[in-house]
Amino acid sequence: MVMKCSKCNRDAVIFQNYSGMHLCREHFTADFEGRVKKAIRKHKWLSSGDRIAVAMSGGKDSSAVLYFLKKTFGDRRDIEIFAVTIDEGIKGYRDPSVVEKIAGRYGVKCHTASFKEHFGLTLDEIVQKKGDRNSCSYCGVLRRQVLNGLAVKLGATKIAMGFNLDDEAQSVMMNVLRGDSERLLRKQSPVPGMIPRIKPFMYLPEREVALYSHMYIEDYEERGCPYSHNALRADVRELLNDYNYRHPATKYALVNLGEGLKEGPGGDETKAGICKVCGEPVFGECGTCRVLKEILG
């Protein structure tokens, strides 16, 4: 039996277990986009004169962020939107041409940088050298530096990320499991040389982002990274999905906890600085230099 929308008599396309509502395509889109706009207003993420670099992988989340930002702000002359993508060098996985095709569909310029040109080796070569046990950790640290460097080079004022509610909840839980109080408490303050990140979809569940992408995005990449099976995030995702099935507000609670810790009194005293070796902005020890030293010996 096809359920009807809770707000009209059209067929529903989704049931929101946390709200108890069935929504049709039109009301789902309005609800989804309305909550994204509310998040942008809440955090004051966009302002006149912004040059938004949308960090794209070619997957559903980042492609949907580009679509939403272009649809919502594309007509504003005081805001520029372009795409950036990082080629880590993973054979059969990351194809910059997929991102270029998606960006081109919305009349957006796409800029690419790679591990090979920045560090002299690809992630595949790192795995051949060090094994794949820590591949996700290496990749995350190196990708952040390349992405920030590319955004600085292009004069971006913000980097829009495709993180959704599930990603954010997983990040909070991962920091708890690691006992990483520094990341849990680090204040969201401007850091010279580091382009601020914005996360328009951070309050939207992954399944809703997936539906939104399915309805409005063509030809996005659906393959997962071949090295992701080693990531702590994969274990945490499974744990949270199982618990959230029985307690639908869990992911929202974790994201609220993460925000509350960063905004509360006190907090982490680690100050931003500039790495003496690579010259990039860092908090404490430079993760990129540490990783490169471990990889290259």
* Torsion, Cα of 162, 164, 167, 168 (10° steps): 110
More confident residue, 58 or 201: 201
Specify the pTM: 0.90
Token representation of residue 87: 């080629």
23-32 pLDDT per residue, tens: 999 999 999 9
- Residue 229 DSSP label: G
Domain boundaries, the chain: 1-44, 48-222+230-264
Mean pLDDT of the chain: 91
Cα angle at 253 between 252 and 259, to 5 degrees? 90
* Residue entry with tokens 């509350």: 260
Q: What percent of the chain has pLDDT over 90?
A: 68
Residue 196 has pLDDT above 80, yes or no: yes
110 with 119: CB under 8 angstroms?
no
Q: What is the mean pLDDT of residues 257-277?
A: 78
Ranking 9-13, 85-89, 221-225, 234-238 by mean pLDDT, the lowest is: 221-225
C-alpha span between 101 and 119 (Å, rounded)? 27
Classify domain 48-222+230-264 at the CATH class level.
alpha beta
235 with 1: CB under 8 angstroms?
no
Residue 269 has pLDDT above 60, yes or no: no
237-253 pLDDT per residue, tens: 999 999 998 998 899 99
C-alpha span between 270 and 272 (Å, rounded)? 7
Q: Pairing mode, if any, of strands 80-87 and 197-198? A: unpaired
Residue 230 has pLDDT above 80, yes or no: no
- For residue 85, name the pLDDT band (cuts at 50, 70, 90): very high
Q: What is the mean pLDDT of residues 8-20?
A: 93
More confident residue, 154 or 185: 154
- How remote is the C-alpha of 117 from its chain's centroid? 23
